[in-house]
Structure 1
Amino acid sequence: QTATMTSAWKEALRSRIYCAARDGLALTLYALLNNAPKADFPEYLNALVSDREQRCSPLLIAARNGHIKVVRMLLNLAEAPVQLEQEGTVQFDGYVIEGATPLWCAAGAGYLDIVQLLVLRGADVNHPTRTLSTPLRAACFDGRLDIVRFLVEHGADVHLSNKYNNTCLMIAAYKGHLDVVRFLVDCGADPNVQAHCGATALQFAAEHGHLGIVRELLAADARVLANGIGMTPLLAAAERTRADVVRFLVEQPWCGRQDKVDALELLGASYANDKDHYSLERAYHFLELAMIERSREPPLPKKPGPALAAYDSRVECTSLQDLRAIRDDAHALHMESLVIRERILGPHNPELPHPVVYRGAVFADSASFDRCLLLWLHALRLRAAARLPLRKDLLRFAQLFGQMLHVGVEVPPAAMAQTLSACLRELEAGPQEDQDANLLTCLYLLVELGRLPPAEDGHDLMRLVYRLVRLNRVTRDGSTLLHLCVSADTPVDDYHTKNVCRFPCASTARLLLRCGADPNAVDGRRNTPLHVIVAYMRPVSDFLTLHAIIVALLEAGAHPDATNGRGETAAQASPTGVAELVLRTQMGISLRCLAARAVACYGLPFRSGEIPQSLVPFVEMHGGRGRPQPRPGAL
């Protein structure tokens, strides 16, 4: 008991010392340390303390928060030298940084006085984080030239890159810090290093519209290189509607006529469908400039691609006269621009789908659902071709279908089938971290599918549902689609989807069961869907749903005497008498189930050949998982 009290007292003191350092309470910290045994100083001062998403030592958190007095006090403690290279976990601008040192924190937060103090005490100026970010990179991110200069003067290596091969020069160019870029170039930073994605500092500067930095880098002999998806700095600037950068780059001697035309066309096309920089006036202006350039001798004839239904079967203008004919036709300019973007960027470019989705959203807002569906289904194919995650796209379709059903517009079965097919592919091969969200979206789609009238191609849709069920994907807590469907705790997206999706949902549960969902599947707590539905806390006001789901599960073969991880049957787990009563009136117990419960109840051995191996899972389902179960009584 004394040892426990001592441990608790030490833990409390460690926490108070950390909080004093975190909050800059130098006098409080001095008093706490003055009354603590000197032998315990290393434990108090160098231990990492968890603080929400951060995990820091007192020195680390004091440096992070800019408390120079606390930092100086900790560094001056002769009794227990603090660890200058202690690594911890801190938060910066919403990002969690692992492996950060006090110097990295001070540099990233912009505290020059603490940076100077730590470096002069011997801190390693090149000590990286887990992602290989150095203190110099942290200072470059915020554009602190004073800190950058000091670190370089004291040995910081301007050539070190992070795990993505992203250099200090790149981050300074990306953030638009011209003075830092100029200093790094003067210190010998190489402007032609390429990150793993193929981008250079020039590319980052161009696509973010930092014209001054673009000029500086070109003056430093930066080469014009394409990144991994074929985007040059010129095309990147045009795609992001950076008109000043485009105007400057197309006048450079290395820019050929075709490159100039492509850039002007892409710039104009991007203005026509950019959510943040939308301008039809600018769109037409740059498209006209491009067409004029095409018309000069020798002419550069355009080679239009095939007409796509998604773009209203639009065929590109090939002459100045054609273009001027649609000057005042907003829809034609929108579609013309989408066609141009796809021709120049190519169908596999990950930047291509965003404006397509935006234009579709505009149609949806004006209730032009058929036009929206054509564009969004095309964007879905483009994102799949570019191997991009589809989580947001799939949810967007569930929201759109919810909106259509809510206002009485029929959802085309073909559109539902294409969306379910994409959902199936994403569950098969998509990112694991998106699986829970994709399962929920899939469930929303199934609920919406149940609201559709019978269709000629209904068998195709049922085959898709069957394949989804057979895939048997589960959430992190082990819930199947059927578990989610019968749970009142299943979240529903707030945007349109909530108008048609509510859980538990009896019709969707019946659909899943008809397509082969296992009524006896267990989640991470070994709850079957029957255990989940009996926990429904609206058994009176929504009795029909409760009754329908229980009946459907039992008719599909659910075992009412299967036990969960707490050894409870569904009836025993029910918090209300209503669900228990429904169970008792509906269920029939087989002799085989009674025998399995008896084996579990009395803890009889059954895994060593006493029964056929095929029956072992059956007995385990009824409670035989290693310990005797309570007597079932009347179940």
Structure 2
Amino acid sequence: MKAEFTALTNLCLQVFLDHRTRDEVLMLVAAKTNGATPLVMACRNGHYDVAEYLIERCNADIEQPGSVVFDGETIEGAPPLWCAAAAGHLPVVRLLVRHGACVNSTTRTNSTPLRAACFDGHFEIVKFLVDHGGDIEVANRHGHTCLMIACYKGHYRIAKFLLSLDANVNRKSVKGNTALHDCAESGSLEILKLLILQWGQDGCRLIRLELERAPLLFYPHVHFQCSFLISQYRMYLKITHKRVGMTPLLAASVTGHTHIVEYLIKLHDLVSHSERVNALELLGATYVDKKRDMIGALDLWKRAMDDRYNGQTQLPKPSQYRPVPAYDNVREVRDHDEMEDLLADPDEMRMQALAIRERILGPAHPDTSYYIRYRGAVYADAGKFNRCVALWTYALEMQQRILEPLNPMTQSSLFSFTELFSFMMGEQGRTSARGRRVPPVTYTDLMTVFGKSIAEIEGGIDMLEKIPSGDRDVTHLHRVIVISLHLACLLTKLLQELTPEQSHEIYLMAYRLVKQNIHGRLGCTVLHLACSRDSSLVGRYPACQFPSAGLAQVLLAVGAEVNALDDKGNTPLHLAGAAKPCPVGLAKTLLDHGAHLDAVNLAGQTFQEVLKGQSVSESINPVQYTSLKCLAATVVRKQKVEFKGHVPVSLESFIEQH
């Protein structure tokens, strides 16, 4: 069926193109549909006859890249050869190379056709491209080489082939990973053995060369040379992920690949006593949180305990300087009696797992905060909201202490709080699915997280100011601003119940946000976002609706500019009018604070024109909100009078708004 379809397609192409001029044909074969040329599409889908016709009869550019989709991901700037190699179409690959396609051409992310073939395990294509000059050491923008991706995807034949070509086993990615890390993370034990064997052979070959060059009297020192090799070998196994200090052994423990851990810890000459113990303890923590296997975790922790105290060298656990309240002040167990008691308290086992992971991986590793947040989410599902808030707050503090401002992980933590508080406020007093009543959100918890969100914004602004204005991307900043406004909106719902001192604290925090004079995407200020329906963030638990009149009132009270303009010339009043329906209370709040009813945006629309017949226009008396000054400015603009230089500079921007 596929062959018949290809033949039919080829026939249609001939009928469509054969009678056209050369220039028309070149234009048509170079045209893109959804980012892809006809040749890119043919190569992606393996239509050999179509590709051949386009190349040989239509002179299609065999290097012209396009956009293609693989496994739901759009690959930009993919040359035809890359498409054919990635999709596994060897005949098309041969056709393109025969016609001179560059075997080392790259996509926008610097991925070569050879790397693409390694990714999906197309062994014959890998061999063909290597035979025709494919460079096995070209890495993509993340620093991942062909060997690394073959190891990560578990393609044994390709990894073995690349190693036979002396692929560099010590190459590091941008994040500091090696091929050995990739094997450990993916669980590819057989390839991992290959890598270790390859390294050992290379090392022995180097020693053999040294011995051949050395005088006979140095031969007795072969043992020293081999000891040196073992120390270098150990260094190879300890190559760490530069951002989070991960060895391949710990990487296998984190991902739960027991067979990799068991293999590596048996290499006693290469893995130290402390490394073996840490690997078993960390693997036990993974059993608790990822595999939910308490018995298996306890067995691993018992083995680690035995290894700590039953060897020639005692290795007691390091002292715990301060207990963590979020972990229920748990202290790591230090003997077998305490270990046996753990099975009677699964909750303490979970806290032990968090404490062990933080000790071994440190706070900088993503899994440390990830599993703290995961455990908090489990508590929230069980109705234990206080435990959830405590754990999430601890994780957020950890992230803000370690990560750069506006990091996606920190954003995710802040957003999770927004969802949680919105749910609690919307379901307050009701009984959850687990039979627990949903408690009210506390002022203290909301204010704590709101303060942390503003601190994140302040840090983000400082970071962006160090970047040239043309290179700044405010996408992450915009998202954190919106999250912060949602938290502020939830706080405004508590104002009626708070003491004057607490209310004052909310206004002080809002002032801290407004005084930054920040602009998100499209030049929106915080007041613009408070008045925009597009700021709605938590659809599942809409305890706080946007636009929000209450939030706008607070922002205006602390000095937000009511007539600020975004990149499209809209004032907050314009965005409120576009909400459909426009909240009457919000519109009146803005007008009462000096919003200009007759201000025009770049599309020449006033607030009333943006409303487009919404009933709110009947609730607002234009005369009440129109001043003589506004009328004069409107006349000047309509008459197209040249006013600059003839009126005070302070009036120029006012007139331009009308």
Shared fold, TM over 0.5 = yes
What's the secondary structure of 2:620's corresponding residue?
helix
Contact 1:63/1:71 (8 A) holds in 2: yes
How far did residue 618 of structure 1 move?
1.4
- CA deviations on 1:505-525 (whole Å, 9 max, x unpaired) are 222221222222222122333
Please tell me whether residue 292 in structure 1 is matched to residue 306 in structure 2: yes
Please tell me whether residue 447 in structure 1 is matched to residue 489 in structure 2: yes
| More divergent stretch after superposition (469-478 vs 176-185) | 469-478
2: CA distance between counterparts of 1:359 and 1:299?
33
* Equivalent residue, structure 1, for 2:205: none
Q: How many residues align?
A: 586
What's the secondary structure of 1:477's corresponding residue?
helix
Question: Which residue of 66, 70, 74 corresponds with 2:54?
Answer: 74
Please tell me whether residue 366 in structure 1 is matched to residue 382 in structure 2: yes
Please tell me whether residue 56 in structure 1 is matched to residue 36 in structure 2: yes
Please tell me whether residue 620 in structure 1 is matched to residue 656 in structure 2: yes
- CA deviations on 1:418-462 (whole Å, 9 max, x unpaired) are 322232233344473223433332232122112223155443332
Contact 2:581/2:614 (8 A) holds in 1: no
Please tell me whether residue 180 in structure 1 is matched to residue 158 in structure 2: yes
2: CA distance between counterparts of 1:112 and 1:585?
72
* Equivalent residue, structure 1, for 2:512: 467
* Equivalent residue, structure 2, for 1:5: none
Question: Which residue of 569, 574, 593 corresponds with 1:531?
Answer: 574
* Equivalent residue, structure 2, for 1:238: 253
Indicate how the Cα distance of structure 1 residues 24 and 245 shifts in structure 2: closer, same or farther if over 3 A, else same: farther
2: CA distance between counterparts of 1:309 and 1:280?
23
Please tell me whether residue 250 in structure 1 is matched to residue 277 in structure 2: no
Contact 2:574/2:606 (8 A) holds in 1: yes
* Equivalent residue, structure 1, for 2:602: 565
What's the secondary structure of 2:74's corresponding residue?
strand
Contact 1:21/1:61 (8 A) holds in 2: no
2: CA distance between counterparts of 1:441 and 1:175?
37
Please tell me whether residue 195 in structure 1 is matched to residue 210 in structure 2: no
Contact 2:62/2:79 (8 A) holds in 1: yes
| More divergent stretch after superposition (169-178 vs 291-300) | 291-300
Contact 2:330/2:351 (8 A) holds in 1: yes
2: CA distance between counterparts of 1:490 and 1:193?
45
1: CA distance between counterparts of 2:394 and 2:6?
52
2: CA distance between counterparts of 1:138 and 1:176?
14
* Equivalent residue, structure 2, for 1:123: 101
Contact 1:235/1:263 (8 A) holds in 2: yes
| More divergent stretch after superposition (300-309 vs 549-558) | 549-558
How far did residue 582 of structure 1 move?
2.8
- CA deviations on 1:353-375 (whole Å, 9 max, x unpaired) are 11101100001001111100010
Instruction: Give the structure-2-normalised TM-score.
Output: 0.85
Residue correspondence of structure 1 range 342-353 to structure 2 within 5 A: 342-353=358-369
Contact 1:315/1:336 (8 A) holds in 2: yes
1: CA distance between counterparts of 2:559 and 2:13?
65
Instruction: Give the structure-1-normalised TM-score.
Output: 0.88
2: CA distance between counterparts of 1:495 and 1:294?
49
What's the secondary structure of 1:202's corresponding residue?
helix
| More divergent stretch after superposition (584-593 vs 218-227) | 584-593
- CA deviations on 1:56-105 (whole Å, 9 max, x unpaired) are 2222210011111111222331xx53222222222222322222211111
Residue correspondence of structure 1 range 489-504 to structure 2 within 5 A: 489-496=534-541, 498=542, 500-504=543-547
Indicate how the Cα distance of structure 1 residues 59 and 571 shifts in structure 2: closer, same or farther if over 3 A, else same: closer
Tell me the amino acid that sits aligned with residue 442 of structure 1: S
1: CA distance between counterparts of 2:391 and 2:445?
11
Identity of aligned residues (%): 37
What's the secondary structure of 1:96's corresponding residue?
strand
Please tell me whether residue 303 in structure 1 is matched to residue 318 in structure 2: yes
Question: Which residue of 294, 301, 312 corresponds with 1:280?
Answer: 294
What's the secondary structure of 1:373's corresponding residue?
helix
Tell me the amino acid that sits aligned with residue 32 of structure 2: V
Contact 1:107/1:138 (8 A) holds in 2: yes
2: CA distance between counterparts of 1:334 and 1:266?
13
What's the secondary structure of 2:33's corresponding residue?
strand
What's the secondary structure of 1:217's corresponding residue?
helix
Structure 1 gaps, min length 5: 1-19, 540-544, 623-635
* Equivalent residue, structure 2, for 1:227: 241
Question: Which residue of 582, 586, 593 corresponds with 2:630?
Answer: 593
2: CA distance between counterparts of 1:595 and 1:109?
67
- CA deviations on 1:605-630 (whole Å, 9 max, x unpaired) are 222x21221221111122xxxxxxxx
Contact 2:282/2:360 (8 A) holds in 1: yes
- CA deviations on 1:111-151 (whole Å, 9 max, x unpaired) are 11111221222222111222221110000000111111111
Tell me the amino acid that sits aligned with residue 36 of structure 1: R
Question: Which residue of 550, 554, 557 corresponds with 1:511?
Answer: 554
2: CA distance between counterparts of 1:420 and 1:257?
45
Tell me the amino acid that sits aligned with residue 294 of structure 1: R
Indicate how the Cα distance of structure 1 residues 339 and 44 shifts in structure 2: closer, same or farther if over 3 A, else same: same
Tell me the amino acid that sits aligned with residue 506 of structure 1: A
Tell me the amino acid that sits aligned with residue 33 of structure 2: S
Indicate how the Cα distance of structure 1 residues 586 and 472 shifts in structure 2: closer, same or farther if over 3 A, else same: farther
How far did residue 503 of structure 1 move?
2.8
Contact 2:591/2:625 (8 A) holds in 1: no
Question: Which residue of 423, 427, 448 corresponds with 1:418?
Answer: 448
* Equivalent residue, structure 1, for 2:16: 32
Tell me the amino acid that sits aligned with residue 57 of structure 1: T
Tell me the amino acid that sits aligned with residue 304 of structure 1: S
Indicate how the Cα distance of structure 1 residues 57 and 24 shifts in structure 2: closer, same or farther if over 3 A, else same: farther
What's the secondary structure of 2:64's corresponding residue?
coil
Tell me the amino acid that sits aligned with residue 240 of structure 1: T
* Equivalent residue, structure 1, for 2:333: 317
How far did residue 572 of structure 1 move?
4.0
What's the secondary structure of 1:89's corresponding residue?
strand
1: CA distance between counterparts of 2:10 and 2:614?
61
Tell me the amino acid that sits aligned with residue 345 of structure 1: L
Contact 1:21/1:70 (8 A) holds in 2: no
2: CA distance between counterparts of 1:201 and 1:391?
31
